[in-house]
Amino acid sequence: MSMLEFHRGRRLRMSATLREMVRETEIRPQDLIMLYFVAETDDTDFRKPIESMPGQYQLSLAQLEKQVAKAVDNGLRSLMLFGIPAHKDELASQAYDEQGIVQRAIRMIKSKWPDLVVIADTCLCEYTSHGHCGMVSKEGEVLNDPTLNLLAQTAVAQAEAGADIVAPSDMMDGRVGAIREGLDNAGYQNTPIMSYAVKYASAFYGPFREAAESAPQFGDRKTYQMDPGNALEAMREAAADVEEGADILMVKPALPYLDVLRTVRDSFDTPMAAYQVSGEYSMIKAAAQNGWIDEKAIVMESLIAIKRAGADMILTYFTEDVLETLKG
Ligand code: PBG
């Protein structure tokens, strides 16, 4: 039998060094964005474990500073902030208040680490008394257009505080355009928008809502976030956001939506982000705590899969752990 009759794929797998040389996708520190929950509190020692997300915390400003310092030592390049305000109201006023907790956290981080890329999640759900991402009518409808101005105000407040990127996650129609206009009018033409362009109404966000204390008090988010059955619709959402001025597109969640990520990647030439969400994190943590899986290996394999499917950057709660692994 001729030796050429079958493909000898094993040839290039025979040693670790060889496998490394032919590896197509690798995770680098600059691919990863860490997520932090910063709480408005006078207690500087405040560091509250999030039960449904083992290893993640709500942090006071002082604790956040400590946590970020350690991560920067390990090679952290970028982070995204979520705020837990002391007061919520119908108008989400703490989202755009100059003294809002995220604005204070941005100023603190940028003064200590000017080179860190600080991304602000631009949304109202952590700040509204009802927990929805937009204004709500008397009848309980989440209102689209009246929300846009508040989102733009929030993005401007974040940019004023020093945010390098704003990331609208609310899924109101037209918000990227409204935010772009708001930023430009305020003199922030150079602040990029990372749009949560393709964001599904997903049960994988469950643990996050405990973490950010942002669960809707009535109803759900299905009238604004996407239906999990829809992939073609992802193209319409992405196209609209690019048209309105999005600089980076995001698909969220990540691992259960790799098909969508690949399709969007192939159709748009903007940088692509993927968000490995709280539920993806917690499932891995829970299985690992039971001794059922090898956490480090599963985390790396998941991130490689997300990057292989087309993500240029990944928002993941595992960022700090992976940076440590990559360093060691
Ligand atoms: C705010 C927001 C959410 C997440 C990121 N930004 C929650 C939601 O839409 O309900 C989810 C992140 C996660 O699950 O890790 N709108």
* Domain ranges across the chain: 27-327
CA of 290 from ligand 1 middle (Å) equals: 26
Whether cis (ω within 30° of 0) applies to the bond prior to 216 is no
At residue 3, the pLDDT reads: 64
* Average of per-residue pLDDT values in the chain: 97
CATH class of residue range 27-327:
alpha beta
Is the beta carbon of 123 within 6 A of some atom in ligand 1? Answer: yes
At residue 282, the pLDDT reads: 98
At residue 147, the pLDDT reads: 97
**Whose Cα sits closest to atom 2 in ligand 1?**
169
At residue 148, the pLDDT reads: 98
| Backbone CA torsion sign across 299, 310, 253, 117 | positive
Q: What number does the ligand 1 atom closest to the CA of 82 have?
A: 6
Is the beta carbon of 169 within 6 A of some atom in ligand 1? Answer: yes
Both tokens of 42, joined, read 């006078």
Q: What number does the ligand 1 atom closest to the CA of 171 have?
A: 16
Is the per-residue pLDDT at 2 higher than 70?
no
Rounded mean pLDDT, 3-8: 84
Q: Could you identify the residue written with the tokens 């509190």?
A: 41
Is the beta carbon of 31 within 6 A of some atom in ligand 1? Answer: no
Q: State the catalytic residues.
A: 199, 252
**Whose Cα sits closest to atom 7 in ligand 1?**
205
CA of 205 from ligand 1 middle (Å) equals: 6
Is the per-residue pLDDT at 149 higher than 90?
yes
68-123 pLDDT, tens digit each: 999 999 999 999 999 999 999 999 999 999 999 999 999 999 999 999 999 999 99
Is the per-residue pLDDT at 194 higher than 60?
yes
> What CA–CA distance (Å, rounded) separates 43 from 59?
10
189 pLDDT tier (thresholds 50, 70, 90): very high
Q: Spell 183-203 as b/e; 16+ CB within 10 A means b.
A: beebebeebbbbbbbbbbebe
Q: What number does the ligand 1 atom closest to the CA of 276 have?
A: 15
At residue 328, the pLDDT reads: 84
At residue 160, the pLDDT reads: 98
Is the per-residue pLDDT at 1 higher than 80?
no
287-315 pLDDT, tens digit each: 999 999 999 999 999 999 999 999 999 99
CA of 24 from ligand 1 middle (Å) equals: 31
> What CA–CA distance (Å, rounded) separates 71 from 78?
10
Is the beta carbon of 125 within 6 A of some atom in ligand 1? Answer: yes
